[in-house]
């Protein structure tokens, strides 16, 4: 299991609902969440064999920006 964290401009529940169909299409994602209250609007994604570029592309297809912040492996260790 990996965890990816992205800085985004997804700032509201409405924005989250716009990006949801794109992220839900990515089969390697088991769970995702956007912290719209944080300054960096952090998108956290967990799953297996995650591809950060595919996540960034999916977010961009929905009309938003995403920039990778961290990649965590099993046990929360930085990769």
What CA–CA distances, in Å, run from 8 to 21, 29, 59, 69, 75? 16, 18, 9, 10, 25
Q: How far apart are CA 20 and CA 73, in angstroms?
A: 24
Q: In the chain, what percentage of residues exceed pLDDT 90?
A: 85
What is the per-residue pLDDT across 38-68, written as a single tens digit (0 to 9) for each?
Answer: 999 999 999 999 999 999 999 999 999 999 9
Stronger pLDDT, 35 or 78, i.e. the higher one: 35
Pick the CATH number of 2-76 from 3.40.1390.10, 3.30.70.100, 3.90.190.10, 3.40.50.1460: 3.30.70.100
Euclidean distance between the first and final Cα of the chain, in Å? 12
Closest CA to 70 of 2, 9, 10: 2
Mean pLDDT of the chain: 92
**Domain assignments of the chain as residue spans, ordered by start:** 2-76
pLDDT at 73 over 90: no
**CA angle, 43 then 73 then 28, to 5°:** 60
Does the pTM surpass 0.95? The reply is no
- pLDDT score recorded for residue 1: 85
């Amino acid at each position: 299991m990996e965890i990816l964290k992205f800085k985004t401009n997804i700032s509201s529940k409405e924005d989250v609902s716009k990006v949801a169909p794109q992220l839900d299409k990515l089969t390697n994602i088991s769970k995702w969440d956007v912290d719209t209250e944080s300054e960096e609007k952090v998108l956290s994604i967990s799953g297996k064999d995650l591809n950060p570029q595919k996540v960034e592309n999916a977010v961009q297809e929905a009309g938003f920006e995403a920039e990778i912040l961290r990649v965590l492996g099993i046990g929360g260790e930085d990769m």
